[in-house]
Chain A
Amino acid sequence: MELDQELETYRKHLPELLADEGKHVLIKGDVIEGIYESRDEALRRGLKVFGIVPFMVKEIEEKETVYFISRFSI
């Protein structure tokens, strides 16, 4: 699935990223491009640097948020 590598990069670097917990990290492949105050800012930067291709913006969290979806049966 797309962005698997980016998720792996995030997990690998999470210990050092936690210094900026609550901010948003921009990742493409195994490269951490930068850390931004808002998701929108990171998205704009991603489009500028990488173009119209998949990249990952993720909020830096010590404990990963898990969203409960009540209606789904997967």
Chain B
Amino acid sequence: MISVLVGVRRDLEFAMEEAGMVIPPRKSVKCLIDTGPTKTILDPVLLQEFGQIPTGKVFITTPSTDDEPLAVQLFDVSLAIVNDVGDAVLDLKSIAVIERPILAHQGFHGLLGMDVLQKIRLVLDGPAGEFSVSG
């Protein structure tokens, strides 16, 4: 599990400012590192907190879907990963993430997929019980 800052993407932030809307601050949430999915997934409750609007649709399959892929919504958000001392090791101004609802009750708000993981270095030292993230 890793802490991730999620917020409104930059261009939407500007549009909200111009419209006189309040821009919600970035929120720190727990995400699970998952090398399975190629795209990152966030919980819809979290996305609603930021007043996000859907910006696309893609298709997914899961272990429990049939042969027919499922259409799901995309949302473009800002996403940053901060290390233990508070330094940003990755700061994405805009990234398209998949919205799926069954994450929060498992103790995390998202799955960090390979679209994000391919931009950072993860080092797991199993015997030492240590894990580190760097840019």
Q: Which residues of A contact B (CB under 8 A)?
A: 1-3, 6-7, 39-40, 43-44, 46-47, 51-58, 64-74
Contact = CB atoms under 8 A, between A and B. Distances in A.
Contact of B54 (A2, A40, A51, A74): A2
A67 B11 contact: no
A53 B55 CA distance: 9
Contact of B63 (A3, A7, A70): A70
B64 A40 contact: no
A25 B99 CA distance: 21
Interface of B: 9, 11-12, 15-16, 19, 21, 32, 34, 36-39, 41, 53-65, 69-71, 73, 76, 94, 96, 98, 100, 102, 111
Contacts, number: 104
Contacts of A7: 57, 71
Given A66-B60, A68-B36, A68-B38, 5 more contacts: A6-B57, A52-B12, A56-B54, A64-B59, A67-B37
A39 B71 CA distance: 19
A65 B57 CA distance: 11
B73 A2 contact: yes
Q: Which are the 9 A-B pairs with shortest beta-carbon distances? A: A70-B36, A72-B62, A73-B64, A66-B69, A47-B15, A66-B59, A69-B62, A67-B60, A54-B53
Given A1-B71, A47-B11, A52-B16, A69 B55 contact: no
Nearest to B59: A66
